[in-house]
Amino acid sequence: MSKFDKYFLMNIDDIIEYTLEKLPNMNWDKESMKAVEIGDGNLNYVFKVWDNNGNSVIIKHAGEALRISDQMKVSTDRNRIESEILLIEETYAKGMVPHIYFYDTVMSACGMEDLSDHKLMRYALMEQEIFPKFAKDIAEFMFNTLLKTSDVVMEHKAKKELVKKFISPELCEITENLVLMEPYNDINKQNSFTKQNEEFVKRELYEDEELILEVAKLKFEFMTKAQALIHGDLHTGSIFVKQDSTKVFDPEFAFYGPMGYDIGNVIANLIFAYGKGLEKENNEFCDWILKTITEIIDIFINEYNENFEKIATEPMAKVKGFKEYYLDDILKDTASYAGTELHRRTVGMAKVKDLTSIENEDTRAFTERLNILCGKDYILNSSNFKNGVAFAKAVLKARADAE
């Protein structure tokens, strides 16, 4: 019998004992072992455990309620999903995710590689740091994890097994509500933004019927388009960076959904960093963000065009014209979901620090308008975004219009 044979919410005092039980072969120096809680997310408990022998591990543990609201219950199965997804992503994109040492479906916890030598990308970008390798890393990561888990490449029965394994109704429901509905109707009275934009948000979001119809379609697409095994929450708080390394983590929202949801999330979150760069009047940084947006899209397209014939196994995917049709659809979704991410992080309940840390209220209001206008352009004109430059130009246009 072990104290960890039945689920309970562990706290810091349990973690060393738990680590020793789950990772007995790590050659721990028991005397010097220490643990701290380092979680900063909305959902889980994250502990770092280390010793004087140079060992360290991250233990991530799912509670039964969200940390942002104990009213919001969500299945602890998300920890299994996250662990299994990281193991799968590791096979498609080696070295680009933390390695999983174990996962435990009883305690809903896993042990993973400690990436403390990296920085959380959101904070690094808020400090205006530049990462020249990032565009290539993330574009290749997305190409490899997305296209290779789609029906273009995967044997269809094996793919459907994954669809089944990673069905995630509760996590998807969070996205369906917080991203693909509430920003547009404030149905749960959780939206917030600067007071001076009240009329603007009413006019541009709540009363724009054309926009809301497009978002309704996007919600249904999100709920039904089992296209690829997506990360599901690929924002800059789910990415660690160093100058020579990029690591994607926190895939607990993963499921079979539209590829453009992931790509669009990356683009939108770079635009939040752009807004922060404008606040700091850092032109070099802002230019690098636009260059990075351009490169991510163009490298993805290039990988796609170079590799499609080589890796496609489905005969009907090789029919003339299909390759172009399928890419157009991915890019259209990318623009659209970049738009919904821009909106939900600006007016919805789960905000981003890039925006909320802007202290001057006029500047923050301006950045909100930029995000909202850029998002609308992406959603309402989603078929027009066929290369990286188009995505970047929309940011400049929204910036001019937000003045």
Per rule CB under 6 A, is residue 115 in the interface with ligand ADP? Answer: yes
Classify the phi-psi angles of 128: left when phi > 0, otherwise alpha if psi is within -120 to 50, otherwise beta.
left
Residue 128 contact partner, candidates Mg ion, ligand ADP, none, CB within 5 to 8 A by sort of partner? none
Q: Of 7 and 123, which has the nearer Cβ to ligand ADP? A: 123
For residues 47 and 285, which CB has a smaller minimum distance to ligand ADP in the complex? Answer: 47
Q: Name residues contacting ligand ADP, limited to 192-221 (CB under 6 A).
A: none
Of positions 10, 33, 35, 43, contacts ligand ADP by CB under 6 A = 43
Tokens 């916890």 found at = 109
Candidates 39-47, 192-200, 206-214, 320-328: pick the segment binding ligand ADP (CB under 6 A).
39-47
Site mask, ligand ADP, residues 51-80, x = CB under 6 A? -------x-x--------------------
Nearer to ligand ADP, 40 or 155 (CB): 40
**What's the longest Cα–Cα distance across the chain?**
66
In the complex with ligand ADP, the residue whose CB is nearer, 84 or 377, is 84
* Burial state string for 297-336 with b = 16 or more CB within 10 A and e = fewer than 16: bbbbbebbeeebeeebeeeebeeeeebeebbebbbbbbbb
- What is the nearest approach in angstroms of Mg ion to the Cβ of residue 231? 11
For ligand ADP, which is the closer residue by CB, 19 or 44? 44
Q: Which element (helix H / strand E) includes 387?
A: none
What's the rounded Cα separation, in Å, for the pair 367 and 399? 8
**CA distance readout (Å), 108 to 45, 70, 174, 324:** 11, 18, 20, 42
Q: Which does 58 bind (CB under 5 to 8 A by kind): ligand ADP, Mg ion, none?
A: ligand ADP
CA–CA separation, 154 and 220 (whole Å) = 24
Which listed residue (87, 120, 311, 396) binds ligand ADP by CB under 6 A? Answer: 120
| One of 41, 186, 307, 314 touching ligand ADP (CB under 6 A) | 41
Instruction: List the 119-120 sheet strands across, edge first.
Output: 119-120, 239-242, 245-248
Give the nearest distance from C-beta 133 to ligand ADP in angstroms. 19
Token reading at 368: 């909100």
Q: Which of 53, 69, 105, 116 binds ligand ADP (CB under 6 A)?
A: 116
Size of the site for ligand ADP (CB under 6 A): 21
Residues within window 241-270 making contact with ligand ADP, judged by CB under 6 A: 249-250, 252
**Binding-site partner at residue 17 among ligand ADP, Mg ion, none, CB < 5 to 8 Å by type:** none
Q: Which of residues 91-110 bind ligand ADP (CB under 6 A)?
A: 98
Among 17, 114, 208, 303, binds ligand ADP (CB under 6 A): 114
The first and second tokens of residue 338, run together, are: 């970049």
Complex with ligand ADP: residue 95 or 224, whichever CB lies closer: 95
Cα separations (Å) of 12 from 8, 9, 49, 154, 217?
13, 10, 10, 42, 44
DSSP 67: S
Residues in the site for Mg ion, rule: CB under 5 A? 41, 250
Q: What number of other Cβ atoms are within 10 A of residue 90's Cβ? A: 16
| Residue 65 per-residue DSSP state | B
Burial 138-150 (b: 16+ CB within 10 A, else e): bbbbbbbbbbbbb
Contact residues: ligand ADP, CB under 6 A = 38-44, 46, 58, 60, 98, 112-116, 120, 237, 249-250, 252
